[in-house]
Amino acid sequence: MWKSICLALMLFSAQSIQADDVELYDTDKERVIQTFANSEKFQEQAADILKRVTGRVQELAPSLTKVEILKIPLAPPRELTIQPGGVQAKVVEMFVVMPKQGDRAPWLILHTKEHSTILAEFSGSVQNLRDMLKASPRADHLQKQQ
C-alpha cells in the first residue's frame, strides 16, 4: 500500500516538473524568446536562489524595462521564510528579473500557493542560470513563435 502511494507521488511530481516549461521573456521584444524543459537543474537553481533571499524589494515600483525575466514553475512548491519581514509562504512560481544593463541587481517576483505575490531581493549571482540559458531551447516553442 505505502509503496503504491509513494510511487504515485513520485510519478505525479515528475509529471508536474514537465507540465510547465521554464520560459525566458524579453521586455524589449515583449515576448517569450526561449523555452526550456523544467529540469531538475532548474529546480535546484530555484531552490538555491530561494535560500539566498535577503528580504523584500524596497523600491515602490522596481523597473521592468530592459530586463529578461526567467519564469520557473516550482514542483513541488518550495518553502520561503524571510525573517526580517516575518514572511512565510509556499512558492509555486518564481520569476527571476535580470536587468540587461545598469547597476540594479537581479530580483524576484514570487507567486505563492496562497495566491499572493512577493517581490524579493537575494544575494549572490545568477551566472549559473545564465549559463543554463545558453542551452538549446525547445524547437516546438520556436515554431509557435514564428
Q: What does the pLDDT profile of the chain (146 residues) look like in tens digits?
A: 333 333 333 333 444 444 499 999 999 999 999 999 999 999 999 999 999 999 999 998 899 999 999 999 999 999 998 877 678 899 999 999 999 998 999 999 999 999 999 999 999 999 999 999 987 666 454 444 44
pLDDT computed for residue 129 by the predictor: 93
Whether residue 132 contacts residue 120, with contact meaning beta carbons closer than 8 Å, is answered with no
Task: Tell me how far apart the alpha carbons of residues 59 and 20 are, in angstroms, rounded to a whole number.
Answer: 30
- What's the pLDDT at 108? 97
The reported pLDDT for the residue numbered 82 is 84
CB crowding 95-110: b at 16 or more within 10 Å, else e: bbbbbeeeeeebbbbb
Tell me the β-bridge partners of 73.
93
CA-CA-CA-CA torsion sign (18, 24, 25, 31): negative
64: helix, coil or strand? coil
pLDDT at 137: 63
| Residue 9: per-residue pLDDT | 35
Q: What is the pLDDT of residue 142?
A: 47
Grid look-up 507567486 returns 111
Nine cell digits for residue 83 = 525573517
